Amino acid sequence: MNDGNKIPVIGFGTYAPEYIPVSLSEEATEVAIEVGFRHIDGAHFYQNEKEVGRAIQKKIADGTVKREDLFYTGKLWPTYHSLELAELNVTQSLETLQLDYMDLFLIHRPLSLKAMEKCKDAGLVKSIGVSNFNRRQLEKILNKPGLKYKPGCNQIESHPYLNQSKMLEFCKAHDVLLVAYSALGSHRHKYWVDQSSPLLLEDLVLAEIGKKYNKTPANIAIRYQIQRGVVAITKSYNPDRIKENFKVFDFELTPEDMKTIDGINRDFLYVDIPLFAAHPEYPLHDEY
């Protein structure tokens, strides 16, 4: 990242829809660490920090990893955006997670950056970034007079059906890392995702390319992001799929493969939250 800190190129997302028992967050996170994931993507909003923290502590206690081997990302929810509440939010999350610091802390929705800077100054987080910012909002932050810390990344929805090529180009030009959530598409949350949406992992192009390498469509979608210089966040509560999703470092897509996958882009958004649509800073009002 632009602050000199490093972030693993593939992360394990801990968010789960309401029909998944919260207890499974602990089991899934343990499996993810055991198979090799070192980047854990969480948030206060996910309401499973206790379970995720227990899993992390178990894997540290049994010698699988050391704390410095792991990269933990947390997020500041909009109700905590004042200077005082932001620090309280981080402190409470760290206590629940049983961690001394977060490696990356993101603004979950476009609002203030001052609170984030305060948390970094206090040593509660190592790096700060933003999430769900469109180009205009990110540019506004980057051009802010007296900006103390440049955002290290912008975490947004991105996958082969929404490759975010314009945002990726903008981020690279400004030394801001792009992090892709819903990197495998999404059907998990019935309130945010139209259940009639196309299934990315059933895409024939991804399946055909996968056959060349004896890989799953998910492997191809993840590898596509990695080769674009994008950090891919994947989610699954199925132990076999968690293991399978990590098998992306023993092959490389050709330039022709990459171009073919570029061609299935539909600018299709899975995750939309109408609850925020009336806000003047709702990021989806802009093209990108």
46 is catalytic: yes
Q: How far apart are CA 83 and CA 100, in angstroms?
A: 20
* Strand pairing report for 125-131 and 10-13: unpaired
Q: How far apart are CA 258 and CA 253, in angstroms?
A: 7
User: Residue 80 is encoded by which pair of tokens?
Assistant: 């905590």
Q: Are 44 and 11 in contact (CB under 8 A)?
A: no
Handedness of CA 140, 143, 149, 153 (dihedral sign): positive
Total count of residues recorded for the chain = 288
Cross-strand partners of 157: 181
Report CA Rg, the chain: 18
Q: How far apart are CA 219 and CA 222, in angstroms?
A: 5
Active-site residue identified among 15, 19, 46, 101 = 46
Displacement of CA 275 from its chain's centroid (Å): 21
Report in angstroms the alpha-carbon separations of 40 from 72, 185, 208: 5, 18, 30
Q: Please give the positions annotated as active site.
A: 46
